A and B are shown apart, each in its own frame.
Chain A
């Protein structure tokens, strides 16, 4: 007789993330949609999984499977990923992979969805990526009732973490901090004009954050025209030369500069002149260049807010510290949602238990009737059958009614199922409850 009466969840997770593997390994193991489809198919056909899900982003590749008949999921997934991506994970590289079994696999997924397992603590994109992975699993035939319920619970957990705690609050990158500052100084950014100086990675990142915040009017000043044109085509910007900065400056509300120039590209007199033309309207200048691109003297001018990497770094460090302080609150939410999910899963045992319980009593009654059938006259046997059947039904009525009341939040109901199965030895003589579906 098994210890637990509920059908086993049998959910494992095997994967790697930014903590267990270097960037080149993670890059090499990012799965396309088609490759996710192949992985799900292999899990179902070769590992006997009833449901499967794959989350693959630039920071993690994780395989979740339920009901697989595998002794060593780690070895299976290592082999599978090696086959699909052509990278040998069956040897020493296999140590990049971690394995979780239930309930840790469920807890891990919830922590991932909340951003607790992300490289940037509390980042919101992962929630969307988890959601996308469910849609993909559904398209590829991997999802089923338990995985769907699991993902629902994970997304609810993530939503609670965002609304009930400060895990997603405050900027956690310099580029994002620049947007936060712009909003703090200027309010809504929808009608604001941005001058980007430089067209490298940092400038592009700042531009995309500003565009997300509602900015639509960009100018790009860069030494190399071609690179500037490439970025301009992405964000719908106008390209100007570095020499045209003093002319463009009065028209900008936000200046973000991120070049490797050894000398200042924006001098104080140019800013002073721009402020005169702007009739002293506020100007936010963010200098992400090392060394600095904007003359620090410009910060002395009224209504000019000049911030460099040091200042933004302080803001980022502050936000991260605040997010770290919120982690215990999020962990508590994860625990609550985990308990709720497991209760729901255990409640799946109700129906099969009721069926098995009734079958058990019917069988005992039938066997006893057969054993003593010769002692009764044929004309009495029909009445005897009805009598025994009636007694069994009456005896079972109350316990089965109480059992079917055991819903996902009814822990007492679950305890009753445990007791019934234990007392009547249901697990030993009936397999009907083994499949939760």
Chain B
């Protein structure tokens, strides 16, 4: 499988770029077939990405998540998967253009710089570690997609309230659908982050890592609680509209802060070097 890696490394940004072009066309002109071929290109990109990670996993003997560029590439895949999940659930293609350019950017950076970093060795108890990382990356992707839909919701809400019934208004799905997209992505993120936390705790115990002293662990648990509250408020308390969206955005912000704080201000074994 090793010979596939260079080909897939080049192919991935191309396929993601094609998806972005397709979804951009779908946004610009609803009647065009851009959405259809954008969706095909995206699914092909996801397939190629999974193949790429598998090929590297087989070659290196563990999941390729050792460097910041590996993490970036995996996050790009997670974002694409989370987006496709929401698109399939809601049947809306005009919002892809708000998610996929970031996926493309992440993959371009990962492709451009990833090869310069030497592959790391396998971690202790690789299965627990890899499942933890995989769940965390997918969870981050889902929460990010949820945040994008939350922001789109707020923009459309403001446009409708303010009678600005412009191009953006025409291209967006119903406000109610955007609200559901926001919460369904957040729900998926909640489950995946819960798995990531549990796997992380399991791995920490086996590897003897002092998790209780790691700020990243506590910040992630904090973010999980905020997102959990947002999802609960939507389903159980009947929260709708900006209030529900702000709650889920608060969860995303906490998660983002946990990443920034960990990488920039405190010492944590979660930090990528």
| A contact set with B: CB distance below 8 Å | 163-166, 169-170, 181, 183-187, 279-282, 299, 302-303, 305, 307, 311, 314-315, 318
What is the minimal beta-carbon distance from A357 to any residue of chain B, in angstroms? 47
Chain B residues within 8 Å of A305, by CB: 160-161
Q: With A165-B31, A184-B169 as given contacts, are A299 and B174 in contact (CB-CB < 8 Å)? A: no
| B contact set with A: CB distance below 8 Å | 30-31, 160-161, 163, 165, 169-170, 172-177, 237-243
What is the minimal beta-carbon distance from B172 to any residue of chain A, in angstroms? 8
What is the minimal beta-carbon distance from A55 to any residue of chain B, in angstroms? 28
Q: B163 contacts A311, CB within 8 Å?
A: yes
Q: A282 contacts B163, CB within 8 Å?
A: no
What is the minimal beta-carbon distance from A311 to any residue of chain B, in angstroms? 4
Chain A residues within 8 Å of B176, by CB: 185-187, 282
Q: B241 contacts A280, CB within 8 Å?
A: yes
Chain B residues within 8 Å of A183, by CB: 174
Select from chain A the residue with minimum beta-carbon distance to B29.
Answer: A166
Chain B residues within 8 Å of A185, by CB: 160, 174-176
A322 to B160, CA, bound (A): 20
Q: B241 contacts A303, CB within 8 Å?
A: yes
Could you pull out 28 A-B pairs where Cβ atoms are within 8 angstroms? A165-B31, A166-B31, A169-B30, A169-B31, A170-B170, A181-B165, A184-B174, A184-B175, A185-B176, A186-B174, A186-B176, A187-B173, A187-B176, A279-B238, A279-B240, A280-B240, A280-B243, A282-B175, A282-B240, A282-B241, A302-B242, A302-B243, A303-B240, A303-B241, A303-B242, A311-B163, A314-B165, A318-B165
Select from chain A the residue with minimum beta-carbon distance to B170.
Answer: A170
Select from chain B the residue with minimum beta-carbon distance to A177.
Answer: B165
Contact of A315 among B30, B165, B173 (CB under 8 A): B165
Chain B residues within 8 Å of A280, by CB: 238-241, 243
Q: A302 contacts B160, CB within 8 Å?
A: no
Chain B residues within 8 Å of A282, by CB: 175-176, 240-241
What is the minimal beta-carbon distance from A107 to any residue of chain B, in angstroms? 24
A339 to B113, CA, bound (A): 58
A314 to B173, CA, bound (A): 20
A303 to B241, CA, bound (A): 6
Q: With A302-B241, A305-B160 as given contacts, are A187 and B177 in contact (CB-CB < 8 Å)? A: yes
What is the minimal beta-carbon distance from A28 to any residue of chain B, in angstroms? 40
Chain A residues within 8 Å of B240, by CB: 279-282, 303
What is the minimal beta-carbon distance from A169 to any residue of chain B, in angstroms? 8
Select from chain A the residue with minimum beta-carbon distance to B159.
Answer: A184
Chain B residues within 8 Å of A314, by CB: 163, 165
Select from chain A the residue with minimum beta-carbon distance to B156.
Answer: A184
Q: A163 contacts B31, CB within 8 Å?
A: yes
Which of B165, B173, B240, B243 has the largest count of A CB atoms less than 10 A from its CB? B165
